[in-house]
Amino acid sequence: MTAPQDRKPPSELMLRVVAGIALIAIAVAALIFGGMAFWLLAAVMALLMMAEWADLAKVPSKTKRLAQYALFVPLAIFSPWAAGPDFFALGLLLGAAFFIVIVTRRPILGWGTLYCGLPVFALLLIRDTPANGIVFVFWTLALVWATDIGAYAAGRAIGGPKLAPAISPNKTWAGLGGGVLAAGLFGIAMHYTYGLPLRLTLASPLLAVIAQAGDLFESWLKRRAGVKDSGTILPGHGGVLDRLDGLVPVAPLAAILVLVHVRELIG
């Protein structure tokens, strides 16, 4: 994700806004339709993320395709036409990561398999929740969007001390605070509007911090690779990793919180 206080030309900023709105609309539509639509969108995003991860690791094209094929096996099992997001499918994801490490002798691709596959597993698992699955997934996605918007706005308006200048020179503590505040307010709005459980409401600002940590981790990957963006597929946003870096660590944690809540309701 682009640093909060980057000064972009108006045309580029408008392109970013329009592309962002379009991406959110696609995600919400797939979430509402559910089933194959949501799985297909999530699986495509994961495969694109894997390609960008491999590019950041500077592996040959043949090796990159092999990593994508290995990841697609558990992704296919995640689909509604197969086993779905159960623990057998999760085991296949771990197996795919182990396989790609053994075959390519590149542990970084194994970590990439988990990095790209676990968020998909988590989101599909939340979507399949018997009660309020759509609400819980929307909360997971939108709290990351709220964090991004709050961080961008606060970073541009306030600026100030840098958050992690050695990793991402443009991010500020004000941006972090703005992201946490926006996510917290969004959680409260979800609580009063859609009955979001109090546990998840209170977790929203904490998950905003995790989202920012995911952002910094991806910035570190790009700095190590010597590139500005992970890709160019998304107008105004760079690559898919640039757009979803905050969601990667948030989705599994959100899934755990949702599962705990559902288990308490059932038992």
Q: Which whole number is the average pLDDT over 14-40?
A: 89
CA–CA separation, 240 and 27 (whole Å): 13
CA–CA separation, 138 and 126 (whole Å): 10
pLDDT at 6: 44
11 falls in which pLDDT band (50, 70, 90)? low
pLDDT at 2: 41
Residues 111 and 71 in one domain: yes
Question: Of 65, 95, 128, which residue constitutes the final position of a domain?
Answer: 128
How large a percentage of the chain has pLDDT more than 70?
A: 94
Residue 22 domain-assigned?
A: no
Total structural domains within the chain: 2
- What is the residue range of 91's domain? 34-128
* Distant-in-sequence, close-in-space partners of 8: CB < 8 Å, separation ≥ 6: 2, 16
Find the helix packing angle between 198-225 and 35-56, rounded to 10°: 30
Q: pLDDT by residue (tens digit) across 68-91?
A: 999 999 999 999 999 899 888 999
Half-sphere exposure of 206 (CA within 13 A, CB side): 8
Residue 258 domain-assigned?
A: yes
Residues 91 and 161 in one domain: no
Half-sphere exposure of 175 (CA within 13 A, CB side): 28
CA–CA separation, 102 and 176 (whole Å): 39
Cα 94 vs. chain centroid, distance in angstroms? 19
pLDDT at 13: 65
What pTM does this model have? 0.92
Q: Give me the DSSP letters along 11-79.
A: HHHHHHHHHHHHHHHHHHHHHHH-HHHHHHHHHHHHHHHHHHHHHHTT--HHHHHHHHHHHHHHHHHHS
Residue 266 CB neighbours (<10 A)? 8
Residues 150 and 266 in one domain: yes
pLDDT at 14: 76
pLDDT at 41: 97
Of 73, 67, 41, the closest CA to residue 54 belongs to 67
Task: Please give the biggest Cα pair distance in the chain.
Answer: 55
Alpha helices in the chain, H assignment, sequence order:
10-33, 35-56, 61-78, 87-104, 107-127, 133-157, 173-194, 198-225, 240-244, 247-266
Residue 88 domain-assigned?
A: yes
**Which tokens go with 199?**
């546990």
Residues 267 and 135 in one domain: yes
Residues 146 and 202 in one domain: yes
Residues 154 and 256 in one domain: yes
Question: Of 128, 163, 184, which residue constitutes the final position of a domain?
Answer: 128
Phi then psi dihedrals of residue 210, to 5 deg: -65, -40
Question: Of 71, 104, 128, which residue constitutes the final position of a domain?
Answer: 128
Q: pLDDT by residue (tens digit) across 83-135?
A: 899 888 999 999 999 999 999 999 999 999 999 999 999 999 999 988 789 99
Residues 98 and 178 in one domain: no
Residue 26 domain-assigned?
A: no
Q: Does residue 44 carry a pLDDT above 90?
A: yes
* Distant-in-sequence, close-in-space partners of 91: CB < 8 Å, separation ≥ 6: none
Matching residue, tokens 């443009």: 170
Residue 24 domain-assigned?
A: no
